[in-house]
Amino acid sequence: MTVRELQDEIFKLKRDTDTCILAHSYMSEAICEIADFVGDSYALSLKAKTAPNKNVIMCGVRFMAETVKMLSPDKRVYLANPAAGCPMAEQMDRDVISEVKKMFPDYAVVAYINTTTALKTIADVCVTSSSAVKICKAIPEKNILFIPDINLGTYVKNQVPEKNFKLLSGGCPTHAKFDEEDALAAKKAHPNALFLVHPECRPSVVKHADYIGSTSGIMDYAKRADAKEFIIGTENSIVEHLQHACPDKKFYPMSMDLVCHNMKVTTLYDVYNCLKGEGGEEIVMDEETRLAAVKCINKMIEYGG
């Protein structure tokens, strides 16, 4: 089957099975084209609550599918490719963080949405890269234990100087691999380009940015800007999507190695097989865990809206 034929089959199967396909912005162009909604982690969470369909397929990583299930327990939710995890989400263990919480009883646990369901059950509020600053400002607590991403935590801490932050040393292996010299080399190669950076990058990279934001934030900024050239400091799929959306502008990756292999694992065939009931993984969650974990997501939506 050609890509177009496969996409046509997917559109037909979606209709026949009353399925909504949600895709994170790091998915391939071919997957974004068949999705009902494409966005960053925050926008996907909002969509998860309102999608009218009986079934949802998440093209992204596991914690994103789990978030959909938490918010839509009556829907059947599938992760298109069961191998798609997020290494950052797996970094911190619930029991360890429970012990840390006991050491700092007057600190609110603010968890990046890139965490496991188990860890979410002990978080006070969740945040995403596009909502973290707003939510940390809005919550009543003055003291914040921010987990797991030290880079996003440092960025938020600098934006919210009125609060006290404790950070732990987790992070995204894809973004944290790059340092100031990579940022400077890209800027030297493209001196007229604006540098747009995801806050999962190290502070030594972020400090050179002209704009710092989520995947959707970066895309919206580049589409609206008058500038004609941009260096993209996040997963390289964003370079491809932007080049597709804005053919009159030029987009360069900060590094050719800025690739999240977990996000790349999902293919159009995975979506097709999942729709046929021959692939993917249905997310199953016991009700007690779901109720404990969804509280911090609902709080995120309440403060972030």
User: Where along the sequence are the contacts to ligand SF4 (CB under 6 A)?
Assistant: 61, 86-88, 114, 172-175, 200, 235, 260, 262-263
Identify the three-state secondary structure at position 4. Answer: helix
Report in angstroms how near the CB of residue 254 gets to ligand 13P at its nearest: 14
Q: How many residues are given for the chain?
A: 305
CA–CA dist 83, 90 (Å, integer): 13
Strands 76-79 and 281-282: antiparallel
Report the partner that residue 193 touches, choosing among ligand 13P, ligand SF4, none (CB closer than 5 to 8 A by kind).
none
Residue 23 per-residue DSSP state:
E
Amino acid at 155: Y
Q: How many CB atoms lie within 10 A of CB 145?
A: 24
Q: Give the separation between CA 197 and CA 257, rounded to whole angstroms.
A: 15
When the beta carbons of 167 and 172 are compared against ligand 13P, the nearer one is 172
Residue closer to ligand SF4 by CB (options 10, 110) is 110
Residue 87 binds: one of ligand SF4, ligand 13P, none (C-beta under 5 to 8 A by kind): ligand SF4
- Residue 66, contacted partner among ligand 13P, ligand SF4, none, CB below 5-8 A by kind: none
Which lies closer to ligand 13P via its Cβ, residue 84 or residue 275? 84
C-alpha neighbours within 13 Å on the C-beta side of residue 203: 10
In the complex, the residues that contact ligand 13P under the rule CB under 6 A are 40-41, 114, 128-130, 172, 200, 214-215
Cβ(280)–Cβ(270) below 8 Å? yes
Question: If contact means CB under 5 to 8 A according to the sort of partner, which of ligand 13P, ligand SF4, none does residue 128 touch?
Answer: ligand 13P
Q: How far is the CB of 262 from ligand SF4 (least distance, A)?
A: 5
Nearer to ligand SF4, 19 or 40 (CB): 40
| Token pair 């391939």: residue | 28
- In the complex, minimum distance from the CB of residue 261 to ligand SF4, in angstroms, rounded to a whole number: 8
**From the CB of 244, what's the least distance to ligand 13P, in Å?**
18
Residue 129 contact among ligand SF4, ligand 13P, none, beta carbon within 5 to 8 Å by kind = ligand 13P
Which residues have a Cβ under 8 Å from the Cβ of 90 and sit 6 or more positions away? 116
- DSSP-derived pairing of the beta strands 143-147 and 125-127: unpaired
